[in-house]
Structure formats: C-alpha cells, structure tokens
C-alpha cells in the first residue's frame, strides 16, 4: 500500500478576524502521495488556499492532525516548522515573489544559500537548474526583464533548488497565457511522475484540471468531491490542440 | 536528455541539507547591498542623513575636545609635577593670589626639587586704535624651568626675549585681534607700556582672552603690584619621590592652600568649565541630538526599505529561512549605510577641521575620535534597524500567498 507523504485528518481551521471566528475548513481528511499531482479546486472562499498553507506547514490548523512521513507536526514551533519546510518543501507562489534586486541566478541561489551551500557551488547549480527549465539565455536577467512565463520558471527553479520531496504551487497558471500555463503544468506533472515528487496545486483554472492525478473539490470549507484519474494526460498533447 | 532527467540531475547533485550557519558568509550581504542601491535616491538621502549626523557629532565633539584641551592647556604645558594654589581655586584661569613666601615654604619640604612662582591675572590690552581687549598675563622668572610657553618658534629664546624690562610674548593666533603687526611693536597693558618681543604658536585660550607671557617682574609692573603676591607655586619633585607623599607633607606645612598634581588641576579646570558653566553640557546635548537625528533618519529609511521588501522576506520565511537570516539582511543594510555615511561624514569633518585650523577655537578631531565617531555611527545605524527587525519578527509567511 502506498504511504502518504502528508496526511491531514480531522483538520478544521478558523480565523479570528472579528468578534466571531470565521471557520474556513471543517473536518478535512486529505492524503498526499509521492509521484502524484494533486489539485485543490473550488470557488473563492472555499478554503483551498488555507488547506494548502496547512499541508505546507505554513499554518497550524485550529484542530486536527497533520503528519509528514507519518510524524505528527502539530507540536512544532515556528522555527522548527521553518526548518521542516526548508528540508521537505518547495513553494511556487502565484505572484512568483522573486527578489527584484537579484538576477535569475541569484534568486535561485537564495534557496541554496539557506541550505548552506557554498556560494560558488550554489552559483553553478543555480545556472544548471535555470538551464534545465529553459532559461539558459536569461541567467543574469533581473525579474523585471523577464516575461511572466520566464519569471515562473525562475520560481520553479528556485523551488526545486533544495531538491524538495513536496512541491506546493498556488495558482501557478493564473498569470500566464494558455501556452505558458500548459508548459508550466507539463513541468510540474513531469516533476511528479518522473521524479516521484508530491505536487499539490491550488487552482481555479479549468484548463489544467484534466492534468491532475487527483482533484479535490472544496466548497464552504468542506470536501465536496474527490476525483481520480488513472494518470492525467500530457499537457503537450493539449498544446498541440491549441 | 529529457527535461525531467536534467532537472533531476541538477537537483540531486546538491547533496546534503546542512542548513546555513549565521557566521558563514552568505548572500545576505549581496541582498543588503542591492536593497540599498536599488532605490538610489533613497540611498543617497540616507547617506546624506548619516553623513550629516556624523559631521554634526564630529564637529560638536571636536569642539568639546578643544574646549577641554584649552581649559587646561596652561597646566598641561607647564611641566610642573605639583601646583600650589589658593584654597578652592576652581580653574587655572580663575585664581586668587597667595603669598610669595609659599615658594620658599615649599622648597623647605622634603621631596621638592624646584619651586617657582607663577603669576596669572587678567589685564587690559589697549590696541593702537583704542579698542581694549582683556588678556591673561602670565609672569614667570626668566630663568624658570616650568611655566614657559612650549611652542616658541625656533631661533627664539624665552629668556632672551624676556630679558628686556618691558618685553612680552603673545601667540600669533591672536596678533590680529590684539592689533600686533610685528616684533618690537609697542603696546599698552593696564595703561603701561610693553613691547612685543616674541611670538608663540598655537597656544589657544578657552576664554578668548589671549595669554600674554612676560617676566614675573614685568608682570607685577604691568599689574601695578608692589606686593609679594603670586598666583601659584609650580613644583618639580626630586627624582623618585611619590607625589602623594609630598602633597601630604606640603599640605601639612601649608594647611591653608591646595596642593594638586598637574593631572588633578587640569581635570578640575576641565570639570569646572564643562559642568559648572553649562557650556560643556550644551555641547554634549547637541552631540546627542545630532546622534538622535541620525538614528531617526536611518530608522525611517531602513523601515521604508523593509516595508518594501516584506513580500520577499515573507517568501524567505515560507521557504524555510530562519528569522536571523532576515535580521542579518537588515543589519547588514544598516552597517553598509553606516560605514559609507560615516566615511563621507568623517571626510567632511577632516576638511572642516583643516579649513578652521587657524581659528582661535577650532574643533580638535584626532584619529581616535574620528574612528570612535565612525564606530558610534555604525552602532547607531544598527540600533536604528531594530525598528525594522521588530517588523520582521512578526512577519507571516502565509502572506506571500495572498
């Protein structure tokens, strides 16, 4: 039987933003497996992003248990959770959030720097990674000199720099045109299928749902539907149809 | 090779996840530098603010040092081991007279090798144009070993200069103020004739009343004194004598006078002008105010820069970066700004000190003071970064997803 990389059981979460707490997640059970592309979908306010935060250990749930490789992470403090994220997770943000003052290479080097890799080795490896995502010709470009698709590839390279077992992506195609979006999903699908990484994507982009191995549909903080496909189709085929 | 294999190869080569140690040179310095120069106008404003603060502090403390230096310059350069003064004299320039026989009483005390009279009193100098200036007359015996002006130009002998009955020596700095254009010029002090027979160099006065050196006999004549009163007895100890022991003996023999070491008397004079008059306190307050202005400017700029970078800092936290990594970036920004700003500021202070070298009260900024101000400025900048650090402490990595 396949063992879950991340397991969330009985997870609920509320925000104390006003006089009465607002409950955004109710009794959620989710498991994330290596080698799969899991998509969290749902309308705005359904709780999908909060669930991503909780699975990515950026946020501790109000109740419930989140385990990572079978170990409970509930009792960990902020710095311990940060160390955990550094060790196991790679994040791809909707707005990319690259350092505008650093070149593409240097942006990727930041992740390696956090891991304690020496500067010279980090530079070489950052360049290798950028070349591998097709940015060999933009190594020394600043984010402002890159297109949206290129910026996202830098963000993906940065997320991969630490060789994470788990990739968390928030709306990775929201700011991309159709072709760039499919290329990004193709890359993430490949990272899951060929490299046995667990990839979790939050999206409300209907174009990419078909490429997920599993789709969890959230509504009003609860799981409304779970869909599984034997193996999502390749976005490259979809690109051919564009 | 497929894209997937390439990425896998690239990432797997990275090896272990040791985690960054805060002592290791890291990218933080590069990020700090780029953060600063990214907005050049803001960086320039910061540097101007830091440099301005450094200049203010440098000049103020330079003035204070000059203040301290000039209040005790007569004592510092007299070459005496001990000073005998009237009881309760607060400062070397504000003395009451003592009997001239104190010199001989001092000489009779064991451990005293040389005891010389020293007369110091205010006088009125009348310029050729009729304008009067207050001066401080200092009279010593022409054969004295102590109390002489130490900066007499080469080729001039104090003893020869004062051998003439009406000879006086003034400092070149004050020649114009006193209306003196050259040697052998006749002047009036207390309506008595005197003749300028020599110039010293760089003997400044705190009170702005120039020192006028002359022989003891001539000083008495210019002051119209027929008594045997003097102001101080300057004492040189016999070799190997303990100052404290000799002071005890002198005090026992002359209980109605004060006996102090030169160091004590200089310190008393400095303390008097520094604390009693309020002049020193106001200079210290001005310096602190200048520092405070610098802190506010740096804190404001760093805070604005930090607020601009909060999303990127949140990303680092989300990626698993420890808080100290972010602190390091902000502190390094502060140190870079502080170092560059203080170097510019100290350079400007050096130019100002050079330009004011011939003023009667120029700021005194030796290397140790310049380095100290630089260090204080950098510490000030780091202190100013605490406001930004407090902001980073509460940073929420979840924010980057919004």
What is the CA B64 to chain-centroid distance, rounded? Answer: 5
Mean pLDDT of chain A: 88
Q: Which residues of B touch A165 (CB under 8 A)?
A: none
B245-301 pLDDT, tens digit each? 999 999 999 999 999 999 999 999 888 888 887 777 888 888 788 878 877 877 887
Q: Which residues of B touch A79 (CB under 8 A)?
A: 322-323
In chain B, which among 109-148 make CB contacts under 8 A with chain A?
A: none
Spatial distance between the Cα atoms of B307 and B228, rounded to a whole number of angstroms: 76
Does residue A18 carry a pLDDT above 80?
Answer: no
Q: How many CB pairs under 8 A join A and B?
A: 142
Question: Any idea which residue has 């010593």 for tokens?
Answer: B140
Conformation bin of residue A64: beta by default, left when phi > 0, alpha when psi is -120 to 50:
left
> Closest Cα to residue A180, out of A242, A97, A90, A99?
A242
pLDDT of residue B150: 64
Write the residue in B10, B34, B35 that is nearest to A129 by C-beta. Answer: B10
Q: Which residues of B touch A128 (CB under 8 A)?
A: 9-10, 13
Does residue A176 carry a pLDDT above 80?
Answer: no
pLDDT of residue B17: 44
Stretches where chain B sits below pLDDT 50 are 1-4, 6-18
- Other CB atoms closer than 10 Å to residue A33's CB: what's the count? 17
Spatial distance between the Cα atoms of A121 and A127, rounded to a whole number of angstroms: 10
Can you read off the two tokens belonging to residue A40? 């969290």
Residue A240 pLDDT level (bands cut at 50, 70, 90): low
pLDDT of residue B15: 39
pLDDT of residue B153: 60
B1 inside 8 A of chain A by CB: no
CA distance A92 to chain B (A): 9
pTM for this structure? 0.75
In contact, B318 and B346? CB cutoff 8 Å: no
CA distance A205 to chain B (A): 17
Write the residue in B13, B18, B28 that is nearest to A125 by C-beta. Answer: B13
Question: What does residue B151 show for φ and ψ, rounded to 5 degrees?
Answer: -110, 30
pLDDT of residue B2: 46
pLDDT of residue A233: 60
Q: Please answer yes or no on whether A161 and B14 come within 8 Å at the CB atom.
A: yes
pLDDT of residue B134: 93
Spatial distance between the Cα atoms of A63 and A10, rounded to a whole number of angstroms: 7
Comparing A180-184, A200-204, B356-360, B393-397, the range with the smallest average pLDDT is B356-360
Can you read off the two tokens belonging to residue A145? 């000199």
- Other CB atoms closer than 10 Å to residue A160's CB: what's the count? 26
Three-state DSSP at B287 gives helix
* β partners of residue A170: A202
In contact, A45 and A72? CB cutoff 8 Å: no
In contact, A91 and A56? CB cutoff 8 Å: yes
Exposure string (b/e) for A9-22, b if CB count within 10 Å is 16 or more?
eebbbbeeeeeeee
The residues, any chain, with a CB within 8 Å of residue B179's CB and separated by 6 or more, are B127, B128, B129, B131, B187
Does residue A29 carry a pLDDT above 90?
Answer: yes
Write the CA distances from B50 to B30, B31, B294, B370, integer angstroms: 21, 21, 6, 14
Q: Which of A116, A118, A162 to mutate to test the interface with B (most CBs of B within 10 A)?
A: A116
Write the residue in A101, A116, A160 that is nearest to B21 by C-beta. Answer: A116
Write the residue in B14, B26, B34 that is nearest to A102 by C-beta. Answer: B34
Can you read off the two tokens belonging to residue A241? 């149809």
Q: Please answer yes or no on whether B11 and A110 come within 8 Å at the CB atom.
A: no
Can you read off the two tokens belonging to residue B59? 């000049």
What is the CA B132 to chain-centroid distance, rounded? Answer: 31
pLDDT of residue B18: 42
The H or E element containing residue B38 is: helix B28-38
Quote ipTM for the complex. 0.87
Does residue A175 carry a pLDDT above 50?
Answer: yes
Spatial distance between the Cα atoms of B106 and B250, rounded to a whole number of angstroms: 7
pLDDT of residue B347: 94
pLDDT of residue A7: 94
In contact, B374 and B294? CB cutoff 8 Å: no
In chain B, which among 363-402 make CB contacts under 8 A with chain A?
A: 397-398, 400-401
Spatial distance between the Cα atoms of A4 and A27, rounded to a whole number of angstroms: 18
Write the residue in B6, B17, B401 that is nearest to A115 by C-beta. Answer: B17
């Amino acid at each position: 039987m396949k063992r879950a990389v991340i397991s969330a059981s009985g997870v609920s979460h509320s925000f104390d933003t006003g006089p009465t707490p607002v409950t955004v997640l109710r009794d959620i059970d989710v498991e994330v497996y290596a080698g799969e592309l899991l998509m969290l979908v749902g309308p705005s306010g359904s709780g999908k992003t909060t669930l991503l935060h909780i699975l990515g250990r950026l946020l501790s749930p109000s109740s419930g248990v989140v385990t990572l490789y079978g170990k409970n992470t509930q009792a960990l403090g902020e710095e311990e959770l940060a160390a955990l994220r550094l060790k196991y997770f790679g994040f791809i943000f909707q707005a990319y959030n690259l350092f505008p003052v650093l070149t593409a290479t240097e942006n990727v080097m930041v992740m390696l720097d956090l891991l304690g890799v020496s500067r010279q080795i980090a530079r070489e490896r950052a360049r290798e990674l950028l070349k591998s995502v097709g940015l060999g010709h933009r190594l020394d470009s600043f984010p402002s000199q890159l297109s949206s698709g290129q910026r996202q590839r830098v963000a993906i390279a940065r997320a991969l720099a630490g060789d994470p077992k788990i990739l968390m992506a928030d709306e990775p195609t929201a700011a991309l045109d159709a072709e760039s979006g499919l290329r990004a999903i193709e890359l993430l699908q490949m990272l899951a299928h060929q490299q046995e990484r667990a990839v979790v994507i939050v999206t409300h982009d209907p174009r990419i749902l078909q490429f997920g191995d599993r789709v969890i549909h959230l509504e009003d903080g609860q799981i409304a539907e779970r869909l599984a496909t034997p193996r999502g189709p390749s976005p490259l085929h979809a690109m051919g149809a564009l | 090779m497929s894209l997937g294999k390439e990425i896998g190869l690239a990432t797997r080569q990275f090896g272990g996840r040791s985690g960054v140690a805060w002592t290791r040179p890291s990218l933080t310095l590069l990020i700090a530098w780029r953060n600063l120069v990214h907005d050049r106008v803001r960086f320039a404003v910061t540097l101007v603010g830091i440099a301005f603060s450094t200049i203010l502090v440098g000049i103020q403390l330079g003035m204070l040092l000059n203040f301290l230096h000039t209040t005790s310059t007569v004592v510092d350069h007299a070459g005496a081991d001990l000073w005998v003064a009237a009881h309760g004299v607060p400062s070397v320039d504000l003395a009451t007279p003592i009997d001239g026989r104190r010199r001989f009483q001092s000489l009779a005390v064991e451990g005293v090798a040389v005891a010389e009279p020293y007369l110091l009193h205010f006088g009125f100098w009348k310029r050729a144009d009729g304008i009067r200036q207050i001066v401080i007359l200092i009279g010593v015996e022409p054969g004295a070993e102590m109390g002489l002006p130490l900066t007499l130009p080469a080729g001039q002998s104090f003893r020869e200069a004062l051998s003439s009955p009406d000879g006086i020596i003034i400092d070149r700095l004050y020649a114009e103020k006193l209306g003196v254009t050259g040697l052998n010029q006749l002047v009036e002090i207390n309506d008595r004739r005197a003749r300028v027979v020599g110039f010293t160099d760089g003997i400044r006065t705190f009170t702005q009343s120039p020192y006028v050196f002359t022989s003891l006999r001539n000083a008495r004549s210019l002051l119209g004194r027929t008594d045997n009163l003097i102001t101080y007895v300057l004492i040189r100890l016999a070799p190997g004598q303990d100052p404290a022991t000799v002071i005890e003996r002198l005090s026992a023999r002359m209980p109605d006078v004060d006996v102090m070491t030169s160091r004590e008397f200089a310190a008393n004079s400095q303390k008097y002008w520094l604390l009693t008059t309020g002049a020193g306190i106001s200079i210290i307050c001005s310096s602190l105010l200048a520092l405070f202005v610098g802190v506010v400017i740096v804190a404001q700029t760093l805070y604005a820069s930090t607020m601009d970078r909060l999303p990127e800092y949140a990303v680092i936290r989300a990626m698993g970066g420890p808080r100290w990594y972010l602190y390091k970036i902000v502190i390094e920004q502060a140190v870079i700004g502080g170092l560059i700003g203080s170097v510019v500021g100290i350079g400007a202070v050096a130019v100002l000190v050079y330009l004011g070298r011939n003023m009667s009260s120029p700021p005194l900024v030796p290397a140790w003071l310049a380095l100290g101000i630089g260090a204080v400025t950098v510490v000030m900048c780091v202190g100013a970064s605490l406001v930004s650090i407090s902001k980073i402490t509460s940073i929420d990595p979840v924010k980057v997803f919004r």
